[in-house]
Structure 1
Amino acid sequence: MNADPTRSESGSVGDLGAQALADSRKLLLRAGDLHGRQLRNALADRTEAWLAARARTLGIDEGSGFAIVAIGSLGRRELVGYSDLDLILVHDDRYPDRLNEVADGLWYPIWDAGISLDHSVRSVPEAMKVAREDVTAALGLLDARYIAGDSDLAALMISSVRNLWRAEARTRLPELIEAAQQRWHRTGDIAHRAEPDIKNGRGGLRDVQLLDALALANLTDGLGALDPGRADSPLREAYDDLLAVRTELHTIAGRARDQVRAQDADEIAAALGVGDRFDLARTISRAARITSYAVDAGLRTARNAVGRKGLSRLRRAPIRSPLDEGVVAHGGEVALARTAIPGSDPGLLLRVAAASARHRLPMNGPVLTRLAAYSAAIPEPWSPEHLSDLLVLLASGHDLIGPVEALDATGLWERLLPEWAGVRDLPPRDAVHTWTVDRHLLETVAYASALTTSVSRPDLLLLGALVHDIGKGRGGDHSEIGAELADGVAARFGLWPDDRRTLVELVRHHLLLPRVVIRRDPTDPETVASVADRLGGDASLAELLGALAEADSRATGPGVWGEWKASQIRGLVGRVVGYLGGSEVSEPVPLEDRVMELARGPEFQVRVEPGDGPNMTVVTMVAPDAPGTLSKMTGVLALAGLQAQSATINAHDGLAMDTFVVMPRFGGPPDRQILRQRLIAAFDGSLDVTMALRDRAARRSAPVRVADAAVPVSRPTAPPRVQWLGRTDATSDGIGPVLLELRAVDDEGLLARVTAELQKLGADVEWAKIATMGATAVDTFCVRLADHSDSARAQITAAVLAVC
């Protein structure tokens, strides 16, 4: 057996000076014989041996009134190549005249040897004071471990600090959570970063240590949080994987570093035997996902475990507040209603996720487990109702990321989108990208949600953002591969053939506009004609590509989307759309024969029929055609909790004959007789629909309280837009009707409020096409104006925007 070059003939490294310790550490790292836990143990053994020997030299022994205690990585025996030594010299105040001499004798040799040192000198009361005043210091002290000297004194300090933490952790939980959130804000998510900070990032080593601190106070589980009682729990494995990466990172970088940089990744992967840098990235991402999921669950458990004080103790137990059909808020989480049966309700999963994003509440862990075990598959092709619920989720901005991550952690997201497996944890190929491919797709969707009112097809924009890079990681041109995959996705989601083609072309050409503005003159008529030809003369596709280019760029990383790029792409889109003759103008939908038959019936009629989806209903209303009829009809529907997904508004023989496709949020189809009675009451004046809706909104304006936590309503980011599309069939006197298009985030009663404003300002609606695409309304009204002046239109525009 070869002699250990780090040891002298006379004994262990502990018998030598601090420089020998430093040299010993360097030789261990350069030799490359030890890896992982073996390397960490060897580094810790040599360091502790030297500290023990130095303690004896300084007279720090049993009963001396001095003790050396390690915290941080040495305290956990997780010392890696260039970790700081975090040491505390504990004293009992009996020998103040020796304190400086002992401290200097301990610290100066370490400094002189060039070893990074984080040190302090504390009495037991001083250690407790620091733990009480600084939550970060308190967490560090929980790792304290005796190294040398007075063991009773060290044990007293360690037990005192831990008992103090157990006593005060409940009151300090908000401070602890705030500190963690600030750290996450600085360092970001490990699971999705191209160059993650595996120690401090969200889902990193410090988060598991946070869980252990909460477990010490009996507020949650520690390393067994995902599978209590198992030494090989997923969380333990995730922690070990991240620790192994950090160990090799220090060795390869030759310095203290916690961010895995691209240039070191292949070497780290080789040392760990996990393949190349892309395999390493997936290993890190998988471990971080497990940790993030555990810390989210742990913090919720801790919050629920903290007792209420004062008058709050007298409050009733958390109530179950309905959020959607089969979905409730309970205890600050999204849960299932008692009557919900996942096995017989395929859309329940989507409604749970959409409610989580819309109300910014986490999904209950047992609910996710139940859905994973028993949720029924959504029949293919999806119904419009199921697609609508997915679009509501996608339109939630950055609030969609948490629910999707939770679904992905439990295998539920891949059931909805099997193609996701190919991009999960996939690192980017170039440094300009901040995120892994899967997170980049979600970030793109989030940015696209703010642009939904800038396009005529917000549903296709969101779906295109979700799958535009789905072809990456499969070899070949990811745009072409992605287009093929998008075709299958579109078929599964039940898109109409024309929409299916648009989604495919949106994925195929999602890089077209950015490339054109870099390589060619976007103002050149030949360039404009070439782009229009590439897009098959589809002005709507050009519009979608412009919005997707913006969302994609913003989601890529800082500085990718700027003023120059914005002006170039937006200008090119405008010129292409103009070259193609502008966007398509809506026209009235002819009345169906079955609706025309109602003209021969009573003056007020309501027909209720099943729709395409299990919870969709078609409501046809007939009433005298007069100013305000549409606002009364839509108000009656809103009061019944019915949100119009689409509608056709027409008149015939003095009657308004309007058909609405509605989706009740709760319960079964609406009662036809109740709708008819309310419609009649709205016309005879006994029911003021506008006032009733205003009172209803006032009652709902305050946040719903669930377990002392407010449940906010959705806060949309897409601004409402009103466009005047010009006259239709204008007469010779120039006073024909005009088209007004509204694009806005939909909510209950929006259509009723808008039509009431139009009536109030003398804009008579002759016909309308109403469409709600997920969470975005794209409504076109053909109105006859009493005043066609610019000021009159501006007044109408301002009034409509004010009620959105």
Structure 2
Amino acid sequence: MSHRRIKNPRAIVDRRALIARLDACFEAGPASAPATRAAVLAILKEVLAEGRAEVRRRFLEEATPGEVTVAESCHLFDRLIVTLMELALTRVYPLGVPTKGDEMALVAVGGYGRGELSPQSDLDLLFLTPYRSTPRAEQVVEYVLYMLWDLGLKVGHATRSVNDCVRLAKDDLTIATALLEARLLTGSRRLFGEFEKRYRADVVSGTETSFVEAKLKERDGRHDGHGDSRYVLEPNIKEGKGGLRDLHTLFWIARYLYDVAGMDDLVAAQVLTPGQARRFAKAQNFLWTVRCHLHYLTGRPEDRLTFDVQQEIGWRMGYTDHAGTKGVERFMKHYFLIAKDVGDLTRILCAALEEQHKRRPLVRLPFGRREADGFAVEGGRLMLPDKATLAEDPTRILELFAVAQRRDLDIHPKALRLIAENPGLVNTLRDSEQAWQRFLDMLTRPEGVETSLRRLNEAGVLGRLIPDFGRVVAQMQYDMYHVYTTDEHTIRAVGVLARIEQGRLKDELPAASSVIDKVQSRRALYVAVLLHDIAKGRGGDHSVLGAEIAHKLGPRFGLSDEETDTVAWLVLHHLDMSRTAFKRDIDDPKTIADFAALVQSPERLKLLLILTCADIRAVGPRTWNNWKATLLRELYYRTAEALSDGHAATSRDRRVTAAKRALATRLLDDQGWAEAAIERFVSMGYPNYWLAFDTETQVRHATLISEAEAAGQPLAVHLAPVPARDVTEVIVYTPDHAGLFARLAGAMALLGVSVVDAKIMTMANGMALDTFAVQGPGGGPLDDEEMPGRLKKTVEATLTGTLKVGRELLHKPHPGPSRAQVFTVPPRVIFDLEASKTHTVIEVNGRDRPGFLYDVTTTLTGLNLQISSAHISTYGERVVDVFYVKDLVGLKVDHPGRLNDIRNTLLMTLGGTPHDAEAPARGPGRGTPRRPARPRSRPRKTAAQ
């Protein structure tokens, strides 16, 4: 429980006044009368509401720290519950001469026993009896509980004898933990003293080690259930890694072993230093403060720090925008640093407890070695020499991590503590060539590199060795696309690279896996992955700034000039391959020619492919999919062909001829088509058709068209799941007309289907052959058995005019608040006049919502533009749709006035502000609306500010 003194406690609840008011109720009528009970309940409700309001007022208006707020909440409930219990014992069910068997004690357990009550926390009560519960005891318990329930409180409760408590605690870890925090509220001190004595003698004694091991195992299981990372961007502040429950675990261990009332008592026991105890208190207070804000803001016992509350809580705690960083990002960075502190404290305490108790490690690790490559091994973990020896050769710090990586050993918390207490020694490593060489050796050793980097990062070594990396430690990006902090994402990306090199991702990343053993610049590749996001959060283009940092750091790593240039080039262009694959038409020869001109060499192409795959794969568990893999793979192979051939036009003609020949062979041999029918179908496709689809898809097209013409159908719709690309392919064959694409997009929006790519073809016979790659609401191919039939009917009704898409979307029930609505995504329209010789490329950015694609394509149709292809990408809350368009006579649109009209009309469609003057072809500048000023209480300052 917080030991901070509560200021003016009577303003929260005046117990004397409360008792006087309750006494008046009983003097006015019998204790058992319903009217008396109703009057008592009304008074308690009033006092509870007033007390809660006062605690809340102090927290929000006076910026009371969280540690005081939870203590004030405890004070309020202590006074109410004690008063209610005494009322039941003396007024409602009085007893003449009590016997020993009539003794009772009301005990707070769990978090309430600890003295921590957040605004929406539950109450856990134990009604302690000497033997079996008596009829009178049952009446008292029933009265108290029903009154608490009528007050609207959530109460966990049990009525047990001392023997019951001991027996159940021996068998159940949860009960043992709850009783460990038992605190007497009112009743028999003798009985509670007997319980405490029996608990220590019969439950704790002899089970210390097993309890600690069980609690640490329980903690690890809890971490696994919440992502096993303290750097998840929507953390659970109670159950997640580095959260309150981890601090509780430390307190339980300390209390079980030392019978301490608080962590400060461990300083006297020489288990923790005063500085470590202060870190514990600081972390606990911060997390309590955040949790109180969460409870007050949501009005429920919420523990997930989701995107929709992060900005408001950060603002309430005084985190403001400055130096190019959003206030919410500064708030979350402080949270992640606190979570890191909690992890450090866990290691420190476990090491100290092992030292104090001289028993085996609290976390079981390999044994048997007493020395490894010059380092002592204690309890299966590597130790460091003393500070004096370390000062003579600080490179031993990095060698410690290198040996741990080579030998697959853990590092002793005492060694990590020594490093943390001597940051100056780590700083000297920046000027040591030997230290940089050791670090590069670790970085380029695939076995265990991810674990080593994470250890170096959590020990603070990585950020001190590379200060630029230290700037992105615990840095978050406030969006729904990125799942981890920048440093955690980077470490995971290096881990993905290592697994690619080890051949462990051949099925998931076949192209990258097939070329990684052919790269000549292996060291440069690992350094580039480590540095690719190192300049994030600096207010400029992180790729450009990162390339400058790479040029500076390359020589320090010991890289040659050529390797340094390669690293800088990869960092500068680390987003270009994904941008090209996901936002450009890779069937357009100019796309391939432009990308080939960018990469210039097969070696750089290989390196960029591998870096791109590792980067996307490390963003989050659901970010990578087969659709992205297919696009990147196609871009890689086509660019490799262009680089090796050099004659794009000749290569294009050869590929068209080869595609026609392959289809003719399949139709003749496998489908039994007549040669005349084959020739007729082949004549329908323009050259770009043969380059846009593989043979398997072209067979489906030929079959669909043949069956539609044989049946005289003006419209044919075919659905086929394509698991290799994580999509369902929807093919529509119908007479071409203006607005066709928009209508089809609207039909899919009505059914909640997401379009991830579209190829729009007009065949030589004037028919449209549009192919959509779509995914279901949860991503992946459509898995609803009824969806294909519903989709066909909806498309047919849309194209025949019996279903008005715009009207239906307008009246379609809203799915409810979306997480995307939390974010501000200013609409942007960008033109690229260089990406294609024959088309104008329009990129539209906006916040994701149902009907987005339909609204944009309808607007483009209304502007008399023909859409030739569309490329749809979603990055969390942000949609990036790219369209290749021509005007109605088939010409590229490039007049500045016309482009400005298109931009303004699209911006108005998306709720943006039109530009009065003609804007450049590259689109408007970036900008985020500032939060309007409003009256507020004094900001809650923190150490991070």
Superposed pair shares fold, TM > 0.5 = yes
Moved more, 464-473 or 445-454: 445-454
- Change in CA separation of 1:528 and 1:176 when aligned onto 2, cut-off 3 Å: same
Letter paired with 1:349: I
Cα offset, 1:510, TM superposition: 1.3
Distance 2:580 2:472 in 1: 27
Distance in 1 separating the partners of 2:16 and 2:435 = 79
Does structure 2 conserve the Cα–Cα contact (< 8 Å) formed by 1:66 and 1:89? yes
Q: After superposition, where does 1:42-441 map in structure 2 within 5 Å?
A: 42-59=72-89, 64-93=102-131, 95-163=133-201, 164-188=203-227, 191-218=230-257, 222=263, 227-229=272-274, 233-275=278-320, 276-302=327-353, 319-322=369-372, 324=373, 326-336=374-384, 341-345=389-393, 347-371=395-419, 372=422, 374=425, 376-379=428-431, 385-392=437-444, 395-408=447-460, 412-441=461-490
Question: In the alignment, which of 15, 19, 27 is matched to residue 53 of structure 2?
Answer: 27
Are residues 394 and 68 of structure 1, via their aligned partners in 2, closer, same or farther at CA, if it must alter by over 3 Å? Answer: farther
Q: Give me the CA root mean square deviation.
A: 3.4
Q: Distance in 1 between matches of 2:387 and 2:53?
A: 66
Counterpart of 2:560, as a letter, is W
- Mark the runs of 5 or more structure 2 residues left unpaired by the alignment: 1-7, 23-39, 321-326, 361-366, 503-512, 647-945
Residues 198 and 577 (structure 1), Cα distance of their counterparts in 2 relative to 1, 3 Å cut = same
CA distance in 1, matches of 2:615, 2:19: 59
Shift of 1:101: 2.0
On the 8 A contact 2:457/2:463 being kept in 1, the answer is no
CA distance in 2, matches of 1:2, 1:354: 56
CA deviation map 1:726-757 (0-9, x unaligned)? xxxxxxxxxxxxxxxxxxxxxxxxxxxxxxxx
1:211-241 deviations in whole A, cap 9, x for unaligned?
2222234389946588424696222212222
Choose the corresponding residue for 2:545, options 457, 481, 486: 481
Alpha-carbon distance in structure 2 between the residues aligned to 1:157 and 1:340 = 50
The residue aligned with 2:573 is 509
Work out whether residues 395 and 434 of structure 2, in 8 Å CA contact, stay in contact via their aligned partners in 1. no
Offset, 1:48: 0.8
Report deviation, 1:458.
3.5
Q: What letter matches 1:176 in structure 2?
A: K
Contact 1:14-1:54 within 8 A present in 2 as well:
no
Q: 1:124 to 1:384 in 2, by over 3 A?
A: closer
Which residue, out of 582, 591, 595, partners 1:527?
Answer: 591
Q: Does the 8 Å contact 2:532/2:543 carry over to 1?
A: yes
Q: What amino acid sits opposite 1:86 in the alignment?
A: D
Return the offset for 1:52.
0.8
CA contact (8 A) 1:142 1:162 kept: no
Structure 1 residues 303 and 179, CA gap change in structure 2 (3 angstroms)? farther
Cα separation, partners in 2 of 1:340 and 1:521, compared to 1, 3 Å: farther
Report SS of the residue matched to 1:138: helix
Kindly report which structure 2 residues correspond to 1:435-474, keeping only aligned pairs within 5 A, or say none. 435-452=484-501, 454=513, 455=516, 456=519, 457-474=521-538
Q: Which residue identity lines up with residue 237 of structure 1 in the other structure?
A: K
**Distance of 1:10 and 1:217 partners within structure 2:** 39
Native 8 Å contact 1:68 1:147 kept in 2: yes
Secondary structure in 2 matching 1:48: helix
Distance 1:464 1:392, change over 3 A: closer
| CA distance 1:30–1:306, change in 2 (3 Å) | closer
How far the C-alpha of 1:295 sits from its partner, in A, is 0.9
Is the contact between residue 192 and residue 439 of structure 1 (CA under 8 Å) also seen in structure 2? Answer: yes
SS of 2:160 mapped into structure 1: strand
The SS at the match of 2:18 is coil
Say whether the 8 Å CA contact 1:234–1:290 is kept in structure 2: yes
Find the aligned partners of 2:21 and 2:601 in 1 and give their Cα distance: 77
Compared CA separation, residues 383 and 414, structure 1 to 2 (3 A): closer
Distance, in Å, in 2 between the alignment partners of 1:383 and 1:190 is 28
CA distance in 2, matches of 1:124, 1:89: 10
- What is the deviation of 1:459? 2.5
Q: 1:11 aligned to 2:59?
A: no
Q: 1:232 to 1:20 in 2, by over 3 A?
A: same
TM-score where L is the length of structure 1: 0.65
What is residue 719 of structure 1 aligned with on the other side? none
Name the amino acid aligned to 1:353.
Answer: F
Which residue of 2 is the match for residue 697 of structure 1? none
What letter matches 2:495 in structure 1? A
Q: CA deviation at 1:352?
A: 1.2
CA shift in 2, pair 1:101/1:220, >3 Å: closer
Q: Distance in 2 between matches of 1:277 and 1:23?
A: 32
Cα 1:480–1:436 change in 2 (3 A) is: same
Partner of 2:825: none
Q: Secondary structure at the match of 1:580?
A: helix
After TM superposition, list the pairs within 5 Å mapping 1:693-712 onto structure 2. Answer: none
Higher RCO, Cα 8 Å, sep 6+: 1
Deviation of the 1:256 alpha carbon: 0.6
Report the TM-score, using the length of structure 2 for normalisation: 0.56
CA drift of 1:158 comes to: 3.3
Give the whole-Å Cα distance in 2 for the aligned partners of 1:447 and 1:429.
Answer: 24
Q: Is this contact kept in 2: 1:452–1:458, CA < 8 A?
A: no
Q: For residues 264 and 320 of structure 1, what CA distance do their matches in structure 2 show? A: 51
Q: Which amino acid aligns with 1:173?
A: V
Q: Which of the residues 628, 632, 640 maps onto 1:577? A: 640
How high is the sequence identity, in percent, across the aligned residues? 25
Alpha-carbon distance in structure 1 between the residues aligned to 2:235 and 2:21: 36
Cα displacement (A) at 1:7: 6.8
Distance 1:29 1:572, change over 3 A: farther
Deviation (angstroms), 1:49: 1.0
Residues 767-786 of structure 1 correspond to what in structure 2 (within 5 A)? none
Structure 2 counterpart of 1:333, one-letter code:
R
Quick check: 1:539–1:582 contact (8 Å CA) kept in 2? Answer: no
Equivalent position SS for 1:233: helix
Matching of residues 535-574 of structure 1 within 5 Å: 535=599, 537-574=600-637
Unpaired runs of 5+ residues, structure 1, are 310-316, 584-804
Answer whether contact 1:66 1:149 (CA < 8 A) is retained: yes
1:574/1:335 Cα in 2 relative to 1: closer, same or farther (>3 Å)?
Answer: farther
Deviation at 1:51, TM superposition (A): 0.5
